[in-house]
Amino acid sequence: MNEWSPAPSAGYLPIKDHGLIGDGRTCALVGRDGTVSFMCVPRFDAPPLFCSLLDRHRGGSFLLAPDGLRLSRQHYLEDTGVLVTELRADTGLVEITDVFPLRPDARLEVDTPVGTGELLRHVRVAQGSVELRVAVRPRGETQVERHADGWELTCPKQSVKLHLATSRPLPGLECALRLSQGEDLWVRLRWSEPHAAGSGRSASQCLDDTVRAWRRWSAFVMADTPRPDLVRRSAITLKLLDYAENGAIVAAPTSSLPERIGGDRNWDYRYAWIRDAAYTVFALRRIGLPDEAGGFLHWALTAAGRDGRLRVLYDVDGRPPPPEVIEAELEGYDRSAPVRWGNAAAEQVQHDVYGELLDCAFQWAATGRPLSAGLWHRLSGLAEQARSAWRTPDHGIWEVRTQARPFTYSAAMCQVALDRAARLAIRLNLPGNAATWAAEARRLTGQIIHDAWDERAHSFTEHLGATGGLDSSLLALPLRRVLPADHPRMVATTQAITERLGAGDGFLYRYLPQDSPDGLDQPEGAFLLCSFWLVDNLAGQGRIDEAAELFDKLCSCASPLGLLAEQIDPYDHSFLGNFPQALSHVGLLSSAVVLARAERGIRPELSTHAWFR
């Protein structure tokens, strides 16, 4: 059981002090103070109904908490996405169970619509008696009508109509109730159609059915790894970010949580990146979740090129996200403006996407799924484009907002595109220039080894031509099988990155803005995924004890609920950036599997599929 913590102050709750719940369409963050502080309905990338996380006065929230709150803590019901918040007040103890109910026949292990379109909150007084505060405040002007069975709320800003039902009459949407030991309150906030599947069940039935569904699904997760508790929680977290309609996985459920308090590195991550698909699919397959892996693969292969252009990211429907705009009305988390909706990176040129997509197709075919003639025609065309694209500047994996540059990682991913295309054509007897692609891939590998190497720095650099600073994305080259982790120049680069981009305790910066201008000219936190990449590289170099020690340090930074943000403040280990971050959990999963294999005496190959042999 997690430790009790003092009641939050009047300011913004630390990012770490939130839990995530969801239903395969959308999700919510619930704070340790009993507040639903971020929730978009009816889906992940819809306008937020509650976002007090980004403005505690104007953002809107849904509060259930006792007066006189002194201590609180949170935990998940074991192996589920059901969250329990315990609130100890001067006069009693309250338990709040929060859940997005799943349909009664929900099978989480396959990609089908599983949610019922409601938030269920159950308050139970475990000790004493309390004055329970209730406050339902959607963002923006709300039209409220009282009915015999509850309240109807019309929210024009979100274009949604809500129905609020409670097990005890409420005098208003902002009120207080006296509850004593053993008494409870059920609150159901619904935005689905009145007769949606499962909507006729009792609240307790909804909760029980949902717990069963989660535990049935969680039983499939491989647990023979270091830190199996965090591996399972990471898998559940990724499932909570999985759009069940089509298998898309959003990068994070939030927007504009700052990468530095007071800075403006604030981005909207409620979309799905092609880049994330390749990493995520690889990790999900390795922990026993092939359906989720296949769903994301199918989404990526379907979305890419739908409008005649290969984009970096898409909305959950596989369409371009809305234009990036700044929300002037909201002050931002802890007054860290701006708040952004939409993401302009969707319009950037990033050559790594060729390799990401071909790698997705490779993983798809390697599991026995067919490649249609139409899809292969598109993919082989991308391989042809990659032959020349690597020679031209782009905006890179970190989506810099400066002039395009010839990034080493981008060239490396063009090598991946050529290599995977050649392997696919040969293995499946598909039409195309397999011999040419394979030869080009080998030549490009040699080009990277020589042209990105800086003899004075004794490391690879972020740009071809051995210019620019160090970049932690170079640690991903062995993960994508561009170079082996124990290649002498990769060993030297790993050491250089550890020394020069190290932020202490094994944390790494992505790059240093003063050496690698990104258009923002501000520092940021340490990027967690890069540290997990370092774990994999150390293991690949035979430094297993060092890799295991670093992995343990990174795991110790997880929140009490086992959740990870995008970045860590290296000075106080507070969370920064959008939360929870899918790729941070993907990094944990991948490193856990690498270490598990190493502990069994198996050489920690970063990709072990027979198609690579």
Structural domain ending residue among the three candidates 164, 190, 218: 218
248 and 177 inside one domain:
no
Residue with tokens 């936190």: 525
Is residue 266 a part of any domain in this protein? yes
| Per-residue confidence (pLDDT) for residue 600, from 0 to 100 | 84
204 and 235 inside one domain:
no
d(CA 530, CA 507): 8
411 and 487 inside one domain:
yes
Of the chain, the percentage scoring pLDDT greater than 90 comes to 73
Structural domain ending residue among the three candidates 218, 236, 269: 218
Asked if residue 488 has a cis previous peptide bond (ω within 30° of 0), the answer is: no
| Per-residue confidence (pLDDT) for residue 277, from 0 to 100 | 85
Poorest-pLDDT segment among 29-38, 81-90, 402-411: 402-411
Strands 459-460 and 325-327: unpaired
| Per-residue confidence (pLDDT) for residue 349, from 0 to 100 | 85
d(CA 27, CA 87): 22
* Position 329 pLDDT exceeds 50: yes
Structural domain ending residue among the three candidates 187, 218, 249: 218
Is residue 370 a part of any domain in this protein? yes
Number of domains composing the chain: 2
d(CA 45, CA 172): 30
* Position 130 pLDDT exceeds 50: yes
Is residue 571 a part of any domain in this protein? yes
Is residue 223 a part of any domain in this protein? no
Do the Cβ atoms of 81 and 240 come closer than 8 Å?
Answer: yes
Of the candidates 166, 98, 96, the one whose C-alpha atom is nearest the C-alpha of residue 125 is: 96
199 and 256 inside one domain:
no
| Per-residue confidence (pLDDT) for residue 308, from 0 to 100 | 67
CB neighbours of 156 closer than 8 A, spacing ≥ 6? 140, 141, 143
Is the CA virtual torsion 323, 237, 359, 25 positive or negative? negative
**pLDDT band at residue 483, thresholds of 50, 70 and 90?**
very high
- 29-65 burial, b at 16+ Cβ within 10 Å, e below that, comes to bbbbbbbbbbbbbebbbbebbbbbbbbbeebbbbbbb
171 and 312 inside one domain:
no
**pLDDT band at residue 304, thresholds of 50, 70 and 90?**
confident
Is residue 145 a part of any domain in this protein? yes
254 and 209 inside one domain:
no
Of the chain, the percentage scoring pLDDT greater than 70 comes to 96
447 and 522 inside one domain:
yes
* Position 605 pLDDT exceeds 80: no
209 and 233 inside one domain:
no
- Tell me the CATH number at 19: 2.70.98
Is residue 76 a part of any domain in this protein? yes
Is residue 377 a part of any domain in this protein? yes
| Per-residue confidence (pLDDT) for residue 176, from 0 to 100 | 96
DSSP annotation of 394: B
| Per-residue confidence (pLDDT) for residue 607, from 0 to 100 | 47
Poorest-pLDDT segment among 103-107, 265-269, 346-350: 103-107
201 and 233 inside one domain:
no
DSSP codes of every residue in 448-478:
HHHHTEETTTTEE-SBTTTBS---GGGGGTT
Please write the tens of the pLDDT for every residue from 228-254: 999 999 999 999 999 998 889 999 999
CA angle 545, 579, 469 (to 5 degrees): 60
- Tell me the CATH number at 484: 1.50.10.10
202 and 241 inside one domain:
no
Structural domain harbouring 271 = 228-612
- Consecutive H or E run containing 597: helix 582-599
132 and 256 inside one domain:
no
Please state the rounded mean pLDDT for residues 102-124: 85
214 and 237 inside one domain:
no
* Position 193 pLDDT exceeds 80: no
Please write the tens of the pLDDT for every residue from 134-156: 999 999 999 999 988 899 999 99
